[in-house]
Structure 1
């Protein structure tokens, strides 16, 4: 039978490699995890939900919509900028502190990447009073929201937003590799926020696929795709 999957959009790029290794029929749709979770809660059929956080899968478990939840990989945030912006070697904090540069993020609540970014802003605020609050006010929520512009097929949100001059800096996941003309700027500890990805098994038919995601083979594929090693919670 074909397994139906609703998955966080940040898994789109790595999914073909995982699907090739799994080699069984699935029907998968990608989108903002918060939006997908609400669709499941409203009764849409989904055998396996893949979220970029643990909160949404746990809510399905609490509501007895899911029978099993587990973390299967991790990610972390970075800044994506046009490589020309790095002339003069500014660091990540100098880039964010520059009021002339436009900052774009995903949409909190609808998209876990936005939630993680708001956590980043709160960590910045703890070290630099006023800066984190200012970033929350400056940031344009351009991805994952109900009114967000659609990212063209085959494009990453970061490269599309930057190349179409919609922003100067995009804060998103590290797993999106740099593309021509786009530079990835790391965020160091203690500011870095680790993203935990979790699955929710909503029908027993998906249990084997969930187990596969925890296998050594799948974990190696995820790490090759820029995700972080699975660690204990």
Structure 2
């Protein structure tokens, strides 16, 4: 009898150790790197389960998952890419977990404010940086700004789209030095005078280069970004738990500390 009990106890210990040793494979938008790095540490401290993350443009990550990449949780900078996986039965339901918006990151010395940012972007002498549409939602959001500009000024959309330098978000985009914010790096290197980027990322760039400016877009140009979360089909229960942790008050507080608005209202 004692032998049977001992065997049962050892089996439970083995199962618990196996569950704790399990690692969640996270694919996430690059703009979430800092927040989800802290999130993963907090989750591991609470659950004992590690998180291994791959960050990059959401559109590219979505294509990799659709092609069979081993991912458990996908955190996208839009709702469209995870919804595409869900519609194809490659993942479960898609939940809104964070919100962001676009700002203008401006090189030092260039006079720009919310009232003048459209004039500056239209100026032929100004180099305007964006990310790459379709591959990276930040690029799609930038082009939404251009569409809104058309409503204020006829012909603005075509001008902005034609001059936009798609400097980030593509597999062939120049990579910044390790630890360097990509948008701030391009501005510092003179490739862009104004870069339309997530406000969270623009503020990170400003922390690295204090003389770079972050300008809020005026209401008539403002574009928000909804971030979608989905658990990939066939993922473990640990992946479900990590997704729930992101949506929990603890997870939402971590996102808020990093400048995101809560996904759940």
TM interval, short-chain normalised: over 0.9
Shift of 1:149: 0.7
- Structure 1 segment 1-233 matched on structure 2, within 5 A: 1-23=22-44, 24-86=49-111, 91-176=116-201, 177=203, 178-179=206-207, 180-202=210-232, 203-205=235-237, 206-231=239-264
> How far, CA to CA, are the matches of 2:147 and 2:56 in structure 1?
26
> How far, CA to CA, are the matches of 1:73 and 1:90 in structure 2?
28
> How far, CA to CA, are the matches of 2:23 and 2:33 in structure 1?
18
| More helix by percentage | 2
Computing the radius of gyration from Cα coordinates, the structure with the larger value is: 2
* RMSD between aligned residues: 1.7
Residues 77 and 225 of structure 2 are in contact (CA less than 8 Å); yes or no, is this contact kept in structure 1? yes
Shift of 1:163: 0.8
> How far, CA to CA, are the matches of 1:38 and 1:135 in structure 2?
28
Secondary structure (helix, strand or coil) at the match of 1:20 reads: helix
Deviation string, structure 1 residues 36-74 (Cα, Å, up to 9, x no partner): 100111111110011001111011111111022111000
Structure 1 unaligned segments of length 5 or more: list them.
none
Moved more, 46-55 or 19-28: 19-28
> How far, CA to CA, are the matches of 1:216 and 1:89 in structure 2?
33
Shift of 1:145: 1.1
Structure 2 unaligned segments of length 5 or more: list them.
1-21
> How far, CA to CA, are the matches of 1:217 and 1:146 in structure 2?
34
Moved more, 198-207 or 56-65: 198-207
With normalisation by structure 2, the TM-score equals 0.83
> How far, CA to CA, are the matches of 1:60 and 1:124 in structure 2?
32
Runs of 4+ in 1 over 3 A off after TM superposition: 87-90
Shift of 1:165: 1.2
Larger RCO of the pair (alpha carbons < 8 Å, separation 6+):
1
Shift of 1:155: 1.1
> How far, CA to CA, are the matches of 1:168 and 1:87 in structure 2?
11
> How far, CA to CA, are the matches of 1:88 and 1:104 in structure 2?
17
Aligned residues: 232
